[in-house]
Amino acid sequence: MEIPYTVSNRPDTGLWNAKIGIWLFLASEVMLFGALFSAYIFLRIDAAPGTWPHGLLNVPVGTMNTAILIISSVTVVLAWAALKMRRYRAYWWYMLATITCGLIFLTVKLAYEWPQKFEHFGAYIKPDALAKYEKYLGNERRLEKGLEPRIEITGHLHSQNATEYEVALDPVNADPDDPAMDRPHFIPLPVTDKIATIEKADVQRATMFLPTHSAYFASYFTITGLHGLHVLGGVIVFIYMWLPVSKKLYQRNPEHLANRVEVSGLFWHFVDLVWIFVFPLFYLL
Amino acid sequence: MDPSASVETHHDPHSHAGEHEHHELGWWRKYIFSTDHKVIGIQYGLCGLAFLFLGFCLMMLMRWQLAYPGQALPVIGKFLPHIFGPGSMPDGKMTPDFYNSLGAMHGTIMIFLGVVPLAFAAFGNFVVPLQIGAPDMTFPKVNAASFWAFGVGGVIMLISFFVPGGAAKSGWTSYTPLAGIADSGPGHNPVFNGQTLWLIGFIFLITSSLLGAVNFITTIIQLRAKGLTWMRLPFFVWAQFVTAFLLLLAFPPLEAAIVMQLMDRLAHTSFFLPTGLVVNGVPMSISGGGSPLLWQHLFWFLGHPEVYVLILPAFGIVAEILANNSRKPLWGYKSLVFSVLVIGFLSFIVWAHHMWLTGMGSAVSAFFQTTTLLISIPSVIILSAFFISLWGGSIRFNVPMLFTIAFLPMFGIGGLTGIPLAFNSADLYLHDTYYVIAHFHYIVAPGTIFGLFAGVYYWFPKATGRKMSEFWGKVHFWPTLICMNMIFLPMFLQGMAGMHRRWYDGGQGWNVANDHTIWGLTGFQWNHPISWAAWAMGLAQIPFIINFFWSIKHGEKVNDNPWEATTLEWTAPSPPPHGNFVHTPVAYRGPYEYSLPGRERDFTMQNEPVEPAERTRRKPPAEPVLA
């Protein structure tokens, strides 16, 4: 028994099986990420003033990762085209480039961007204690200018004891009245050496920048985490198709391998597309 | 050599002739880890039936507590604490937590582990490739992966009964923030607790239906036999096609919601936990900023299409059996097809009618009220077409047909009683009462499950080559029909009297203040006949279980087409071999050519070529379309 149209087209639909399968799968993926982005919108609209942070992510690094993913989408198409032209050597190199791009993306995400967040500290100040920390928050000026109030002090946790935190402040809290701090910075500014002492009694809630920190970081880690899993899945599939085991398939039936690259390439483009939404939503807006 | 053939063989170096591959497979590969759609269909079917019975057993336990609240359950009550732990039924008396677990898991098991695997996966897997004349599904390995993902999900759900604290207890809807904080704290494992396992189990179940849905749609698009054009597809295939789309597109938002609830429970985020949440008088240490309403939207975005996932395959089964046993073409085939497509589309934009009481605002309510009433139109078209199909037929009252005929009024009751719930003004009163329970159980219990029973009796000969006993089928049918109605009809009365559906004491306390009688019994007292009917219905399933297993070996042997049906699955041998058909089938005509004038027999199968005399008589092009 054999299943028809695994490699060749069915005449009346003009498609082979896996191509329909992957588009259906992608439709379902659209619904998955669509729901997550909807949740992001829902939570962001609902967020109380001052609770949705801006400018915490490293935009240049995010831009670089965007570029890397786009390049990998190009190389995977070139790999497919090389197979169609039966140039296995070129295919091998393009595939290697794609895999490398995927791995660089993951490394940047997991070894640089996420850990940097885990080291960052934020303390939400109780509403009745906000005035006490006015010199770090600058809310009088913000109120005059009609900006959202600041209710959180961020930076690196220097030390803490039973009653207070000592925080090396972020520039935004070190110099809160500087008009340059009204907008997020494209290139993030380093933590200053200005130390603030915050009494624990005045703090509503203090955590590192973990998913539990806020609705913003909850959605950031969930969505980028799920996206990262998709990148990882794509890389694993690509590695399989790059290994010698797939060369045997190429020698027997090159068109079949080309089809496999095509459907996994479609998946890869989708993963890229998701990132095109993630990047502005979390890094820029 | 055909390139695809070489591809098939490279996976299995031992098989050089693909044709004879199945003879070399061992017992495990053939019956357990099979990639054959028929074996997978039967595996799904057996699991689905077992889970249906388990879910029903949970309900039979609950019915004791509802009828005799606080009293020790005789006999069985002594053993249950040994199975479910001392917190479940100490001295045979059910605890509130155990009652809640039973309720939540009854819903979960019945819907996601019982009806969907049986209606969609089992019948879809077994019947669809045969009906479209395909050798298998397009992706046999994905098909097996789908079944095993379902198996893992099912096992996780079962394990959750035995972890400290017991199974999930926040209802099958797992509304937050209740579900976000349930099963946590002292005495609960952070991961191995009821609610978290419920969520993890669900991820596997969603994966399973995603893989299944992709496979079904691709199979129906790509593997239809030559000549089997879209308008020649049996209605069952159409129903499964639309169902697959519902699963494909409606489940992922729930998966997103489940991932978020998992994050809430494991990483202590606040997707669904609002600011200022206080539990047991203590403010929770969470960031807040979450939205409980968000969960409800995402849940019901699946939850409502899911209702149609439950009913559409039953429509499909009923259509096949109806045409077959009334010996005339299905009335209004095209209207049926377009109705089922419209239902599929509309089912995505009605979800918020489950949320009238959340205060979404009147504009939102008005929109969803309108779409909800619109969706009743195609549903009524389908039911009307089924009724008209009976008109003037020479009806054979065999067991599948009995269940099918019973389906029609039962589904009708369920559908019509849903209309008051669609109006948010009426729903303010009826929401969360037994009226709602009665309404949707009329659709899924005597509705869908009767359709499933009909399907089991109808396709059993195809799977085994033997028929199930007609006599014991009737012994199964009549008590089941009577008990179903004795269970669910009084619930309408209870609900309209104001009985809430989630009371642990079955309404005993409420009864003190509301002791007016309905037909001689108070709302609470009606629990007694309902519970006795439920237990009687449990007994009525014994003839089915015995008949099912007995007939596999000892049933009456029948030929390949015992019902004298027209569709392609009856041209294959019974049971069909690996690869299904002896000769690749070609379809020359529509699916319901019963009682064609001028024919010797009253049925003309889809693979019978068109005769010259017929060609002049019939208008539509009878040439097989190249496929």
Q: Cβ distance A247 to A1 under 8 Å?
A: no
The whole-number average pLDDT for the span B60-70 is 96
Residues of chain A neighbouring B146 (CB-CB closer than 8 A):
none
Residue B16: pLDDT band (50, 70, 90) is very low
**Interface mutation target, options B1, B4, B246, chain A, most CBs of A under 10 Å:** B4
Q: Residue written as tokens 């009767």?
A: B450
**Chain B contacts in chain A segment 19-58 (CB below 8 A):** 20-21, 24-25, 27-29, 31-36, 38-39, 42-43, 46-48, 51
Measure in Å the smallest separation between the Cα of A16 and chain B Cα atoms: 8
- Phi and psi at A23, nearest 5°, equal -65, -40
- Phi and psi at B562, nearest 5°, equal -70, -25
Nearest residue of B to residue A32, measured between CA atoms: B252
Q: Give the C-alpha distances (Å, rounded to integers) separating B93 from B80, B84, B133, B164, B538.
A: 10, 13, 55, 19, 21
- Quote the pLDDT of residue A185: 85
Nearest residue of A to residue B271, measured between CA atoms: A215
Of B222, B248, B285, the CB nearest to A5: B222
Q: Which CATH number does the domain A17-117+214-284 belong to among 1.20.120.80, 3.40.50.1000, 1.10.3210.10, 3.40.50.720?
A: 1.20.120.80
Q: How far apart are alpha carbons B33 and B14 in whole angstroms?
A: 17
Residue B64: pLDDT band (50, 70, 90) is very high
- Quote the pLDDT of residue B454: 98
- Quote the pLDDT of residue A50: 86
The whole-number average pLDDT for the span A95-107 is 98
Tens digit of pLDDT for each residue in B162-216?
999 999 999 999 999 999 999 998 899 999 999 999 999 999 999 999 999 999 9
Nearest residue of A to residue B229, measured between CA atoms: A12
Residues of chain B neighbouring A222 (CB-CB closer than 8 A):
259-260, 263, 269, 271
Asked if the C-beta of A249 comes within 8 angstroms of chain B's C-beta atoms, the answer is yes
Q: Give the C-alpha distances (Å, rounded to integers) separating B196 from B190, B264, B270, B292, B301.
A: 8, 10, 15, 17, 21
Across chain B, what does the average pLDDT equal?
92
Which of B159, B192, B199 has the alpha carbon at shortest distance from B176?
A: B199
Interface confidence (ipTM) of the complex? 0.95
Residues of chain B neighbouring A43 (CB-CB closer than 8 A):
271, 289-291, 294
A46 by DSSP, 3-state: which? helix
Of A3, A43, A212, the CB nearest to B138: A3
Tens digit of pLDDT for each residue in B439-483?
999 999 999 999 999 999 999 999 999 999 999 999 999 999 999
Of A1, A7, A51, the CB nearest to B135: A1
Q: Give the C-alpha distances (Å, rounded to integers) separating B383 from B237, B332, B410, B506.
A: 18, 11, 11, 35
Q: How far apart are alpha carbons B331 and B387 in whole angstroms?
A: 9
Measure in Å the smallest separation between the Cα of B272 and chain A Cα atoms: 9
Query: How far is Cα of residue B58 from the mean position of the Cα atoms in its chain?
Result: 18
Taking CB atoms and an 8 Å limit, are A255 and B252 in contact across chains?
no
Residues of chain A neighbouring B294 (CB-CB closer than 8 A):
39, 42-43
Taking CB atoms and an 8 Å limit, are B255 and A252 in contact across chains?
no
Residues of chain A neighbouring B218 (CB-CB closer than 8 A):
17, 20-21, 24
Residues of chain B neighbouring A218 (CB-CB closer than 8 A):
260, 263, 267, 269-271, 287
With 90 as the cut, is the pLDDT of residue B26 above it? no
Looking at residue B287, what DSSP letter applies?
-
Tens digit of pLDDT for each residue in A199-222?
999 999 999 999 999 999 999 999
Tens digit of pLDDT for each residue in B98-115?
999 999 999 999 999 999
**Chain B contacts in chain A segment 153-212 (CB below 8 A):** 205, 207, 210-212
- Quote the pLDDT of residue B610: 86
Across chain A, what does the average pLDDT equal?
95
Q: Residue written as tokens 């961007």?
A: A113
**Interface mutation target, options B211, B218, B259, B273, chain A, most CBs of A under 10 Å:** B218
- Quote the pLDDT of residue B617: 60
Nearest residue of B to residue A2, measured between CA atoms: B5
How many Å is the maximal CA-CA distance in chain B?
84
Query: How many residue pairs from chains A and B have C-beta atoms closer than 8 A?
Result: 179
- Quote the pLDDT of residue B14: 43
Measure in Å the smallest separation between the Cα of A34 and chain B Cα atoms: 8
Of A12, A31, A256, the CB nearest to B252: A31
The whole-number average pLDDT for the span B124-144 is 96
Measure in Å the smallest separation between the Cα of A37 and chain B Cα atoms: 10
Helix H segments across B276-361?
A: 292-326, 333-346
Of A1, A27, A51, the CB nearest to B18: A1
With 80 as the cut, is the pLDDT of residue B1 above it? no
Q: How far apart are alpha carbons A208 and A212 in whole angstroms?
A: 9
Residue B335: pLDDT band (50, 70, 90) is very high
Tens digit of pLDDT for each residue in B375-396?
999 999 999 999 999 999 999 9
Tokens representing residue A124 in the block: 């939400």
The whole-number average pLDDT for the span B398-416 is 97
Long-range contacts: B584-589, Cβ < 8 Å, 24+? B584/B133, B584/B225, B584/B226, B585/B133, B585/B225, B585/B226, B586/B133, B586/B225, B586/B226, B586/B227, B586/B624, B587/B133, B587/B225, B587/B226, B587/B227, B587/B228, B587/B229, B587/B232, B587/B624, B588/B227, B588/B622, B588/B624, B589/B232, B589/B622
Q: How far apart are alpha carbons A154 and A178 in whole angstroms?
A: 16
Q: Give the C-alpha distances (Å, rounded to integers) separating B346 from A25, B378, B379.
A: 21, 10, 11
Asked if the C-beta of A107 comes within 8 angstroms of chain B's C-beta atoms, the answer is no
Taking CB atoms and an 8 Å limit, are A28 and B10 in contact across chains?
no
Q: Cβ distance B593 to B317 under 8 Å?
A: no
Give this prediction's pTM. Answer: 0.94
Of A8, A32, A42, the CB nearest to B252: A32
- Quote the pLDDT of residue B361: 87
Of A1, A24, A35, the CB nearest to B253: A35
Residue ranges per structural domain of chain A? 17-117+214-284, 120-207
Of A48, A215, A249, the CB nearest to B270: A215
Nearest residue of A to residue B287, measured between CA atoms: A214
Looking at residue B594, what DSSP letter applies?
B
Nearest residue of A to residue B137, measured between CA atoms: A3
- Quote the pLDDT of residue B625: 55
Q: How far apart are alpha carbons B213 and B219 in whole angstroms?
A: 10
With 70 as the cut, is the pLDDT of residue B158 above it? yes
- Quote the pLDDT of residue B526: 95
Residues of chain B neighbouring A209 (CB-CB closer than 8 A):
none
Residues of chain A neighbouring B142 (CB-CB closer than 8 A):
21
Q: Cβ distance A198 to A123 under 8 Å?
A: yes
Q: How far apart are alpha carbons B29 and B26 in whole angstroms?
A: 5
Residues of chain A neighbouring B627 (CB-CB closer than 8 A):
10-12
Nearest residue of B to residue A23, measured between CA atoms: B214
Share of chain B above pLDDT 70, in %: 94
With 50 as the cut, is the pLDDT of residue B4 above it? no
Tens digit of pLDDT for each residue in A233-282?
999 999 999 999 999 999 999 999 999 999 999 999 999 999 999 999 99
Q: Which residues pair with A157 in a beta bridge?
A: A167
Of B213, B215, B223, the CB nearest to A4: B223
Taking CB atoms and an 8 Å limit, are B2 and A28 in contact across chains?
no
Residues of chain A neighbouring B250 (CB-CB closer than 8 A):
31
Residue B303: pLDDT band (50, 70, 90) is very high
Of A24, A211, A253, the CB nearest to B217: A24
Q: How far apart are alpha carbons B530 and B64 in whole angstroms?
A: 10
Of A47, A211, A256, the CB nearest to B3: A256
The whole-number average pLDDT for the span B44-51 is 97
- Are β-strands B521-522 and B278-279 bridged in parallel, bridged antiparallel, or unpaired? unpaired
Of B4, B214, B250, the CB nearest to A6: B4
The whole-number average pLDDT for the span A184-191 is 86
Measure in Å the smallest separation between the Cα of A60 and chain B Cα atoms: 27
Nearest residue of B to residue A218, measured between CA atoms: B269
Nearest residue of A to residue B215, measured between CA atoms: A21
B285: left (phi over 0), alpha (psi -120 to 50) or beta: beta
With 60 as the cut, is the pLDDT of residue B373 above it? yes
Taking CB atoms and an 8 Å limit, are B5 and A214 in contact across chains?
no
Q: Cβ distance B230 to B164 under 8 Å?
A: no
With 70 as the cut, is the pLDDT of residue B622 above it? no
Taking CB atoms and an 8 Å limit, are B287 and A218 in contact across chains?
yes
